[in-house]
Amino acid sequence: MRARFDVVVVGAGPGGIAAAAVAAAAGMRVCLLDANPGLGGQVWRGIGAGTARSYPHGGKFVRWKARLDASGCEVWQGWQVVDAPKQRLLRVESDVESREIEFVHLILATGARERFLPFPGWTLPGVMGVGGAQAMVKSGLDASGKRVVVAGSGPLLLAVAAGLAKAGATIEGVFEQATRAQMAPFVLSALAAQPGKLIEGALYRLWTFGVPYRFDSWVRRAEGHARVERVWVSIGGKERAIACDWLACGFHLVPNLELPRLLGCQILAGCVKVDALQQSSVEGVACVGELTGIGGLEKALHEGEIAGWAAVGNQARALSLASRRRRQLEFAARMERAFALRPELRRLPTDSTIVCRCEDVTHKELAACEGWREAKLHSRCGMGSCQGRICGGAAEFLYGWGPKDARPPVYPTKVATLAAETDTADRASR
């Protein structure tokens, strides 16, 4: 089946919802699609009208959702873009079906994911991402009575620690790798601005729970039989063992660049390069939200609105939002500097530490390779089912390898697709 729309928006997080609502309300035929069964993206994952209050800026979700509902936008939930076979055409898949969509304007709002860095023991059950632990608890995992260490880097650490504590977990400590000096300008600016309210709230809640928050600290290794039982943390230069049931560890966020890359959008310093109207280097393709720089919820909403107005040809309206966007970009830049990764983290993996979890390829095997080409030749690193989404960011940081080239399918979901992939892989490895 082939569908046709004026505007296709990929990703129904804040950026995509705002873009789709604005464009559709102005009379365009718009399709908003997301791989998730629910609207909201990362920050509003699992949100509903009744639960909105427990989410950051939940009220904004309710208002934007109402605008979206009233706009006449078509919403395809449970569909993901797997390929862009030719200009102005996408291939999308649900669990049971595959379709093609023609578009005039494409707005990508595919968001970000956590960055993972390998350290000894990070493959043990009970070791999760920071956002990972949050997502698991939001989707029903019982945190009550769990002793949890939260570590890594980024503003998410605080928010998630507070959330887990509220869900009944005992937080054994929050360990941020960044130095206090590195973070100070960010914290000061954040406290003065809107997102600061969130940080402030999280800090306050943590204090009331008596949770220590330490800079200059990171997990060196995790240990345990069958699951994580304790972690060794370097705290301001001293090493200490902490017993725990879960380790939530992630190193800030990286944009999901697979689709922009596949479409040929120019990428600069890890983000899609866009102009004041959110347009990428590829005609007809705009990018918004985390794709253009990790800046959070408000930046995503704002950029979505700009791209929506740009798609309907109302440049004046789009440009009227420019000054707020400039402030959000400055905030994003400060955040990037605040959570820049320290070099010590490169020395965490030992020879036998697994870097590629899909294929169990070790640090020793990979450190000997020049880059992705050689790594793929000697091992199956990056060719497993995560397609380099986890090991890619790690290899970039550990070995300085460039990005893995995006090749379709960007995201295999259908069993048939996966089975076919496994099949080819099996044949290739024989």
Partner 1 sequence: MISAIRAAIAAIQAASVREKMLADRKISLTVNGKPVEVAAGTSVAAAVMMAGEPSRFSVTGEARAPLCGMGICMECRMTVDGVPQRRGCQLLCADGMEVQSS
Ligand X SMILES: Cc1cc2nc3c(=O)[nH]c(=O)nc-3n(C[C@H](O)[C@H](O)[C@H](O)COP(=O)(O)OP(=O)(O)OC[C@H]3O[C@@H](n4cnc5c(N)ncnc54)[C@H](O)[C@@H]3O)c2cc1C
Residue of 243, 240, 234 lying closest to 152 (CA atoms): 234
The dihedral of CA 173, 351, 369, 258: what is its sign? negative
Residue in 7, 9, 12, 271 binding ligand X, rule: CB under 6 A: 12
List, in sequence order, every residue forming a beta bridge with 233; answer none if it has no partner: 219, 240
Instruction: Work out what residue 139 binds among partner 1, ligand X, none; the CB cut-off runs from 5 to 8 Å by kind.
Output: partner 1
159 sits near ligand X (criterion: CB under 6 A): yes
Q: Smallest distance from the beta carbon of 380 to partner 1, in angstroms?
A: 9
Point out which span in 213-221, 292-300, 311-319, 358-366 binds ligand X (CB under 6 A): 292-300
Kindly write down the DSSP assignment for every residue of 272-339, as one continuous string. Answer: E---TT-B-SSTTEEE-GGGGS---HHHHHHHHHHHHHHHTT-HHHHHTTHHHHHHHHHHHHHHHHHT
Among ligand X, partner 1, none, partner that 140 touches (CB below 5 to 8 angstroms by kind): partner 1
User: Which parts of this chain interact with partner 1 (CB under 8 A)?
Assistant: 35-37, 42, 45, 48-52, 62, 66, 113-114, 116, 123, 125-129, 131-136, 139-142, 226-227, 354, 357-360, 384-386, 389-390, 413, 415, 418-419, 422
120 binds, among partner 1, ligand X, none (CB under 5 to 8 A by kind): none
- Does residue 202 interact with ligand X by CB under 6 A? no
DSSP 189-228: HHHHSTHHHHHHHHHHHHHHHT--EESSEEEEEEE-SSS-
The C-alpha angle with vertex 224 and arms to 177 and 160, in degrees rounded to 5, equals: 40
Of 224, 296, 308, 392, the residue at the interface with ligand X (CB under 6 A) is 296
Smaller CB separation from partner 1, 62 or 276: 62
Number of residues near ligand X (by CB under 6 A): 38
Contact 169, 150 (CB under 8 A): no
- Residue 403 preceded by cis peptide, ω within 30: no
What are the residues whose beta carbons fall under 8 Å from the beta carbon of 374, sequence distance 6 or more?
none
Choose, by CB under 6 A, the member of 297, 307, 338, 366 that binds ligand X. 297
- Retrieve residue 319's tokens: 């440009």
Q: Should residue 278 be labelled a site residue for ligand X when binding is judged by CB under 6 A? A: no
Among 7, 9, 75, 80, binds ligand X (CB under 6 A): 80
Tell the residue number behind the tokens 């060794």, with chain if given.
232
> Cβ 100 to partner 1, closest distance in Å?
23
- Check residue 112 for interaction with ligand X (CB under 6 A): yes
* 117, 228, 231, 410: residue in contact with ligand X (rule CB under 6 A): 410
Nearest to 292 by CA among 96, 110, 81, 77: 110
Q: How far is the CB of 272 from ligand X (least distance, A)?
A: 11
Q: Quick check: 14 binds ligand X (CB under 6 A)?
A: yes
- Rule CB under 6 A: is residue 34 a binding residue for ligand X? yes
User: What's the rounded Cα separation, in Å, for the pair 33 and 290?
Assistant: 17
Residues 6+ apart with CB under 8 A from 158: 174, 199, 202, 203, 206, 213
Q: Which residues pair with 174 in a beta bridge?
A: 150, 213
Contact between 412 and ligand X by CB under 6 A: the answer reads no
Q: Is 42 in the site for ligand X (CB under 6 A)?
A: yes
Contact of residue 110 among partner 1, ligand X, none (CB under 5-8 Å per partner type): ligand X
296 binds, among partner 1, ligand X, none (CB under 5 to 8 A by kind): ligand X
Q: CB neighbours of 343 closer than 8 A, spacing ≥ 6? A: none
| Contact set with ligand X (CB under 6 A) | 10-16, 33-36, 41-43, 56, 80-81, 109-114, 131, 134-135, 156, 159, 253, 256, 259, 289-290, 296-297, 300, 410-411
